[in-house]
Amino acid sequence: MALGGVLFTIGLFWFGWTADPSIPWPSCVVAAAFIGAGFNIIFQQCINFLVDTYTLYAASAVSANTFLRSLIAGGLPLAARPMFNNLGVGPAMSILGAVAALALPVPFIFMKYGLKLRKLSKFAPVHED
């Protein structure tokens, strides 16, 4: 997830800073590839983490993740259009990039405190190897 987070954040800032008609379009396309690659890596690793952590309850954990993701996906377009119309593509994408940058420590927090957090859950069996 750490690699995906870095790629995603770089892609958001890159896209925002090059989304201007004076800059050739291939730059935005490469930035979008970074966004897509980063998102896919993050998504796949999150699903793998849920399945590995909640073995017996993996289907419920993944469906709860899907439900929450769908709620957010349904609500964000209501804020995105006004944000991009009022701020412009560059500043709006930079705000999204800043949010992504703030989330970069999350995988490392899970690496450090993940076992402790899983021990607090009655649904996540802990196997200390």
Write the burial class of residue 5 (CB in 10 Å: 0-12 exposed, 13-18 middle, 19+ buried). Answer: buried
Q: Is the pTM of this model over 0.95?
A: no
In a 13 Å sphere around the CA of 16, the CA atoms on its Cβ side amount to: 18
pLDDT at 46 over 80: yes
Distance CA 99, CA 87 (A): 16
% the chain with pLDDT above 70: 98
H or E stretch at 37: helix 25-53
Extract the tokens encoding 104: 């970069």
Mean model confidence pLDDT for the chain? 93
- In DSSP notation, 111-126 reads HHHHHHHHHT-SSS--
**Position 47 confidence tier, pLDDT thresholds 50, 70, 90:** very high
Tokens of 97: 């990039």
Q: What is the end-to-end Cα distance of the chain in Å, rounded?
A: 22
| Structural domain boundaries in the chain | 2-119
CA dist., res. 89 & res. 87, Å (int): 7
Confidence band for 24, pLDDT divided at 50, 70 and 90: very high
Q: How many CB atoms lie within 10 A of CB 42?
A: 21
DSSP, res 23: S
